[in-house]
């Protein structure tokens, strides 16, 4: 398969690829968030405090601010729409439990697995990503032996949402083996 992982999903993709290399032919990482060393001290929070924090994550002002960081130069009306869409999963009956369980489990730490990835990898990043630093993206590019890096102009943390045709073309060309 060609496995695609955006943001924290890149950690999941690296973990899967390291553990099941025979299942992954190529890897696509979009604004990869892979250098967090788990959830840190959040793993030690009492569950009551963790649930209070997770409840805060659903708050409209916090989600709206996250959208300001994630997207590049969006209008107020689009920002409001995308905030509402981006909060949908927070209202699923399982979301709070799943998020707290993720926090107290220690989260993802795939730093030691990066060097196990031998597959051809396409790293796509938004030119104006305010969430994953360019320094960390370049670090990953240098650590993956078989990686190609492409920057999507005029996009933030979610180039696949802001510039879907551009990202789709990059992935399609990569899948076909075209030099990009």
Q: Check 10, 11, 33, 129 and give the catalytic one.
A: 129
**From 7, 10, 11, 33, active-site residue:** 7
Instruction: Return left, alpha or beta for 177; rule: phi > 0 is left, psi -120 to 50 is alpha, else beta.
Output: left
CA distance 92 to 47: 19
**From the candidates 11, 33, 155, 157, which is the catalytic residue?**
157
Residue 121's SS3 state is strand
Alpha helix (H) ranges present in 40-179? 47-57, 60-70, 76-86, 95-105, 134-143, 159-162, 164-176
Whether 105 is a known active-site residue: answer no
Residue 1 DSSP SS3? coil
Separation CA 91–CA 14 (nearest Å): 28
Reply yes or no on whether 7 is catalytic: yes
Catalytic residue list contains 157 = yes
Active-site residues, by number, are 7, 129, 157
């Amino acid at each position: 398969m060609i496995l695609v992982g955006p943001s924290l999903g890149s950690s999941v993709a690296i973990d899967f690829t390291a553990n099941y290399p025979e299942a992954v032919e190529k890897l696509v990482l979009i604004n990869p968030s892979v250098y967090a060393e788990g959830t840190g001290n959040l793993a030690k929070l009492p569950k009551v405090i963790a649930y209070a924090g997770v409840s805060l994550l659903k708050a409209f002002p916090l989600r709206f601010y996250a959208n300001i960081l994630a997207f590049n130069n969006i209008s107020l009306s689009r920002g409001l729409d995308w905030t509402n869409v981006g909060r949908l999963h927070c209202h699923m009956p399982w979301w709070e439990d799943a998020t707290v369980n993720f926090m107290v489990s220690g989260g993802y730490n795939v730093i030691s697995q990066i060097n196990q990835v031998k597959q051809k990898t396409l790293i796509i990043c938004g030119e104006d990503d305010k969430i994953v630093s360019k320094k960390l993206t370049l670090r990953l590019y240098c650590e993956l032996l078989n990686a190609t890096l492409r920057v999507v102009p005029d996009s933030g943390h979610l180039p696949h949402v802001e510039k879907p045709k551009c990202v789709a073309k990059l992935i399609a060309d990569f899948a076909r083996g075209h030099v990009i």
